[in-house]
């Protein structure tokens, strides 16, 4: 469930677009790094709603976000496809997402038959949890079919 929620393809691309919007606002001088830490969600949404024609705002609020065209958990395959698409499309029309997370960064201990044992030691499920690795490539919505055709021809 963790990967299906926090690493969902739309959640990831909207996070990328949100960071782009925040960076854009900082570059425009709408707020500084220091001021940003004082903003609420409502403040940021209020600024965004004043710019309905801004493509960054449209991506976030009007579902004009970039679309996934490639996903893998293989780093080498991802890098190869990334370089291939960068040759075919303008890099401004592409977004790359490299998500990696250790599911359990630290050990948890529990009383197991009167003995303190690590959770990974007593649970086969926890012992076998693998690091989450998801590498994705997104494109401008109008280019999705073109990008998919390029990838189909390449394979």
Classify residue 94: in a domain, yes or no: no
Range of the domain at 25: 1-65
Classify residue 95: in a domain, yes or no: no
Classify residue 11: in a domain, yes or no: yes
Could you give phi then psi for residue 43, rounded to 5 degrees?
A: -60, -50
Classify residue 144: in a domain, yes or no: no
Classify residue 23: in a domain, yes or no: yes
The predicted-structure confidence for 53-88, as pLDDT tens digits, reads as follows 999 999 999 999 999 999 999 999 999 999 999 999
Q: 22-26, 92-96, 105-109, 142-146: lowest mean pLDDT where? A: 105-109
Classify residue 53: in a domain, yes or no: yes
Q: Looking at the 3D structure of the chain, how many domains does it have? A: 1
Tokens 């409502």 found at: 42
Classify residue 129: in a domain, yes or no: no
Q: Specify the pTM.
A: 0.83
DSSP state of 108: -
DSSP string, 38-76: T--HHHHHHHHHT-TT-HHHHHHHSS---EEEEEES-HH
28: left (phi over 0), alpha (psi -120 to 50) or beta: alpha
């Amino acid at each position: 469930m963790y990967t299906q929620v926090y690493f969902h393809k739309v959640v990831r691309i909207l996070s990328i677009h949100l960071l782009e919007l925040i960076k854009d606002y900082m570059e425009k001088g709408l707020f500084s790094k220091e001021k940003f830490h004082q903003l609420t969600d409502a403040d940021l949404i209020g600024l965004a709603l004043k710019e309905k024609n801004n493509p960054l705002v449209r991506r976030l609020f009007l579902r004009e976000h970039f679309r996934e065209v490639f996903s893998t958990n293989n780093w080498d395959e991802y890098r190869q496809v990334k370089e291939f698409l960068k040759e075919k499309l303008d890099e401004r029309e592409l977004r790359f997402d490299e998500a990696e997370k250790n599911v359990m960064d630290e050990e948890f201990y529990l009383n197991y038959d009167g003995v303190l044992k690590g959770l990974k030691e007593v649970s086969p499920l926890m012992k076998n949890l693998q690091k989450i690795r998801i590498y994705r490539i997104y494109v401008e919505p109008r280019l999705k079919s073109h990008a998919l055709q390029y990838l189909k021809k390449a394979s």
